[in-house]
Amino acid sequence: MSRWRTIDIVIAAVIAVAFGVIFWAWNILWGATGGAFAFFPPAQTLLYGVWLIPAVLAGLIIRKPGAALFTEAVAATISALLGAQWGAVIIPQGLVQGLGAELAFAILLYRSWRLPAALLAGLLTGVGAAVFDFFVWNGGYDLVDYRIPYALLTVVSSTVVAGLGSWALVKALAPTGVLDRFGAGRERALV
């Protein structure tokens, strides 16, 4: 059950590389939208959840210990190699984010793949991201006016975008047959 098949490795790598490229584009969008959130800068983190999708998505599809961590870490590494403006610091950041989703799936003993599991994985991935950012990126900002709202909105974004979004993506892909080699494809109803 927990032993990785070749197809698990390939799909995890494909998800990671695809999202590493998406991250590269999302990094540009993040930089371009800063002005739109000048009224309340922490609100920009409502866009954050996209960076956390690979961890939850890979966990829901592959359903093996390490899938969330591996996929998020490789996606972050690809993003760094493509020239992310934050440099190599995003590699350990990806590890911390992937650990959040991995923790959620481990808490559920890698046996639950329904919507609550996806939401928990999204939430804990967001907690990992928020804690990392709280100390690494946002240490110089005001605690009440910036850091706490930033952290809370990161968790909201990750729960909705990465948690609910990944679950919806798996649910939409399952009937196509593309996931038939995985438990996610054999379970047509993931509610």
DSSP string over the chain: --SPPHHHHHHHHHHHHHHHHHHHHHHHHHHHHGGGGTTSGGGGGGGGGGGGHHHHHHHHHH-STTHHHHHHHHHHHHHHHTT-TTGGGHHHHHHHHHHHHHHHHHHTTT---SHHHHHHHHHHHHHHHHHHHHHHTSTTS-IIIIIHHHHHHHHHHIIIIIIIHHHHHHHHHGGGTTTTTSHHHH-S---
User: What pLDDT, in 10s, does the model give residues 54-96?
Assistant: 999 999 999 999 999 999 999 999 999 999 889 999 999 999 9
Query: Average pLDDT of 30-36?
Result: 94
User: What pLDDT, in 10s, does the model give residues 165-188?
Assistant: 999 999 999 999 999 999 888 875
> Scanning the structure block, which residue is given the tokens 């798996």?
170
Q: What is the pLDDT of residue 51?
A: 96
| pLDDT exceeds cutoff 80 at 126 | yes
Torsions phi, psi for 97 (to 5 deg): -65, -45
**CB atoms near residue 108 (< 10 Å):** 15
Q: What is the pLDDT of residue 186?
A: 80
Q: What is the pLDDT of residue 2?
A: 78
Note whether 166 and 60 are within 8 A (CB). Answer: yes
Alpha carbons within 13 angstroms on the beta-carbon side of residue 88 total 0
Q: What is the pLDDT of residue 190?
A: 44
Q: What's the pTM value of the predicted model, to 2 decimals?
A: 0.94
Query: Average pLDDT of 38-51?
Result: 96
| pLDDT exceeds cutoff 50 at 123 | yes
Q: What is the pLDDT of residue 191?
A: 42
Average pLDDT, the chain: 94
Domains of the chain in start order, with CATH, are 6-186 (1.10.1760)
Q: What would you report as the CA-atom Rg of the chain, rounded to the nearest whole angstrom?
A: 16
